[in-house]
Amino acid sequence: MTLSELSAEYVQEEQRLTRQIERFLPYAKTLSGDARREAYRKLACLYEMRRDVRMTAQTLAHYYDNKVQHRVYHNGGLYFSAKN
């Protein structure tokens, strides 16, 4: 399996999570009290999973690009200073 094929599978997973969120959100809005709080907690988890899947798909799709953003630890002096 190539990185682009793996990226495509992550994109499909993102789409599946989006559909799941779209189906669950109207139901969550009808609830109240503890049930509503639990439903929104589940929605928060779904949103977080979708974000992580999207970021992984983008990383895999652009793994060999030269324009990939540099990680913080490559030049930690820009982000962490001894002045604090």
> How many angstroms separate the CA atoms of 43 and 30, rounded?
14
pLDDT in tens, 25-52: 999 999 999 999 999 999 999 999 999 9
List, for residues 65-82, the tens digit of each pLDDT value: 755 455 555 555 555 555
Helices 3-30 and 33-61, packing angle to 10 deg: 160
One-letter amino acid for residue 61 of the chain: A
The pLDDT score that the predictor gives to residue 84 is 46
- The model's pTM: 0.73
pLDDT of residue 22: 97
Within 10 A of 8 (CB to CB), how many other CB atoms are there? 15
Q: Where are the domains of the chain?
A: 3-78
